[in-house]
């Protein structure tokens, strides 16, 4: 594994913690600095009311694994078989199959792992375009804010899209201990794993009082899970950006090759 460089994982939730643990077990120094923490739905009563009538929608789109888990906690009864489920990314699809009550009764898109061509909304859009007829009423399950690209595509094609916040994303506040560990690690070099465009700006704000850490992150390799995130990283001054899967094998391989 690569020398003393420390990989800073900014992916929030269980996926980020798991990746950090896996990197550490493999011998790669890693720290978990989630860009966001997850909170409850901003209006739980409204979320429950909409989900109580989820059978009225032709299609429901989950944008993240957290959207799946939050929805599962808010559902009063199992998922109705007549409402097609669509998942953005492999992790979200896995969460649907594992954590959403009643998902086995419904059609799930992508139908197979091999049908997943990427991690963003762009990879899901061709599968939705192929639906005949195009879903008339669509429910988009997400945080209180997020990317509007997929909703815009569906609306332009004639669908009515309802966005429902089933959880909140809140900027993470690192502890004094974590800040100290980041500062110490920065002297030997840092790499970063970035799983969303919003995380790029959040990271800069979070580390406003630690310019040495932010400088080390911008100078080291940054691993982006999507070209769109890579573009944001380049614009934010990150010098060495690599588009790769957010897993140990891909990250380790890139570090061995010099981080791109």
Architecture of the CATH domain 39-168: 3-Layer(aba) Sandwich (3.40)
The answer to whether the CB of 259 falls within 8 A of the CB of 242 is yes
Model confidence pLDDT, tens digit, residues 29-74: 999 999 999 999 999 999 999 999 999 999 999 998 999 999 999 9
What average pLDDT does the segment 170-194 reach?
95
* Confidence (pLDDT) at 255: 86
* Confidence (pLDDT) at 2: 43
Query: What CATH number belongs to 6-35+172-256?
Result: 3.40.50.10090
* Confidence (pLDDT) at 91: 85
**Band of residue 241 on the pLDDT scale cut at 50, 70, 90:** very high
* Confidence (pLDDT) at 132: 84
Specify the pTM: 0.81
How far is the C-alpha of 160 from the C-alpha of 61, rounded, in Å? Answer: 13
Identical fold between 6-35+172-256 and 39-168: yes
Query: What is the CA 164 to chain-centroid distance, rounded?
Result: 17
**Band of residue 90 on the pLDDT scale cut at 50, 70, 90:** confident
244: left (phi over 0), alpha (psi -120 to 50) or beta: beta
Model confidence pLDDT, tens digit, residues 101-148: 999 999 999 887 666 666 577 888 888 988 988 899 999 999 988 778
Domain limits, the chain? 6-35+172-256, 39-168
How far is the C-alpha of 115 from the C-alpha of 93, rounded, in Å? Answer: 11
Q: Is the pLDDT of residue 260 over 50?
A: no
């Amino acid at each position: 594994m690569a020398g003393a460089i420390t990989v800073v994982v900014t992916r929030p939730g269980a996926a980020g913690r798991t990746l950090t643990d896996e990197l550490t077990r493999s011998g790669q120094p890693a720290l978990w600095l989630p860009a966001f923490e997850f909170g409850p739905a901003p209006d739980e009563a409204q979320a429950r009311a909409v989900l109580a009538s989820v059978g009225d929608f032709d299609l429901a789109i989950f944008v993240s694994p957290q959207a799946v888990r939050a929805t599962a906690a808010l559902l009063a009864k199992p998922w109705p078989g007549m409402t097609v489920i669509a998942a953005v990314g492999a992790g979200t699809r896995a969460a649907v199959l594992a954590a959403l009550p009643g998902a086995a009764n419904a059609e799930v898109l992508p139908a197979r792992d091999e049908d997943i061509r990427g991690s963003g909304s762009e990879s899901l859009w061709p599968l939705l375009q192929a639906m005949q007829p195009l879903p008339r009423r669509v429910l988009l399950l997400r945080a209180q804010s997020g990317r509007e690209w997929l909703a815009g595509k569906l609306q332009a094609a004639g669908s009515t899209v309802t966005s429902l916040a089933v959880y909140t994303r809140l900027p993470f506040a690192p502890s004094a201990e974590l800040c100290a560990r980041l500062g110490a690690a920065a002297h030997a070099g840092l790499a970063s794993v970035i799983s969303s465009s919003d995380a790029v700006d959040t990271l800069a704000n979070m580390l406003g009082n630690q310019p040495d850490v932010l400088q080390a992150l911008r100078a080291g390799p940054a691993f982006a899970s999507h070209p769109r995130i890579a573009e944001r990283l380049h614009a934010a001054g990150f010098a060495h950006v690599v588009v790769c899967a957010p897993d140990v094998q891909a990250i380790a391989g890139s570090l061995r090759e010099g981080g791109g």
